[in-house]
Amino acid sequence: MTATVIGATGLIGSYLVKILKKDNFFSTTRLLVRRPLEVKNENVEVRLIDFNDTESFKLGIEGSDAVFCTIGTTKEKVRGDKEAYRKVDFDIPIKAAQFCKETGCSNFILVSSVGADSSNKNFYLQLKGEVEDAVRQMNIESVTIIRPSILLGDRKESRPAETIGKFAMSLFSFALIGNASKYKPIHAEDVAQAMVNAARNQQPGFTIYEYEEIKDLIR
């Protein structure tokens, strides 16, 4: 079994790679990256590709048994350019799902966001909702959508606003019960483990997991 990861250098992606290295269910972990990445593990295959090159991207997906997509950017990285933001957070996941379908991979696992809704006026949540809607329409045999809220874990880059948000949410997370529990902060490693477990289960259809469901997946 081959697991292909898109977004391996991000917060969730880096935990995901660590978990997959030790996982016996997948004998090969393939990382699709835009820049050279050195990984010392005989079961990890690094493929340098251009995500704007259709043929290169599709060849990267071909032969996969499960595709994990954790890729995402920030307003700071794209300097507020919404089109540039969309090319990463919409175009790449959609192409990945499309190539999954075209190459016969029946297991697609995608990180979205709590509150994702294509009718939302917030640009980020609307975009995430549009991605979910588009992937749903592709009718891939098994699609898992993971919707975390604020992510806990050590990021490589500094995000002051997010750090403040983490602190505030951690203080009041006990008060988030019932339907509001989906807004609880969650560690990126838990999200990554839930993704791997979901890939193992390969639930048929289109399944969305939020905080409580994510926790259930890793119990």
> H helices within 27-79, ranges in order?
54-61
Total residue count of the chain as it appears in this document: 219
Q: What percent of the chain has pLDDT over 90?
A: 79
> H helices within the chain, ranges in order?
11-22, 54-61, 82-86, 92-103, 123-136, 160-172, 188-201, 211-218
Tens-digit pLDDT profile for residues 1-14? 999 999 999 999 99
Tens-digit pLDDT profile for residues 139-189? 999 999 999 999 998 766 555 555 555 555 555 565 566 778 899 999 999
More confident residue, 64 or 156: 64
> Which pLDDT belongs to residue 180?
83
Q: What CATH number is given for 2-218 in this structure?
A: 3.40.50.720
More confident residue, 116 or 77: 116
> Which pLDDT belongs to residue 151?
94
Is residue 204 over pLDDT 70? yes
Catalytic residues: 124, 128
**Mean pLDDT on 121-134:** 97
> Which pLDDT belongs to residue 158?
54
Residue carrying the six token digits 């902060």: 185
If you average pLDDT over every residue of the chain, what do you get?
Answer: 91
Taking each continuous run of H as one helix and of E as one strand, the counts in the chain are 8, 9
pTM equals 0.91
Distances in Å between the Cα of 185 and the Cα atoms of 31, 68, 113, 150, 210 are 27, 21, 12, 5, 11
> Which pLDDT belongs to residue 154?
78
3-state helix, strand, coil in the chain (%, to 5): 45, 20, 35
Question: Is the CB of residue 131 less than 8 Å from the CB of residue 70?
Answer: no
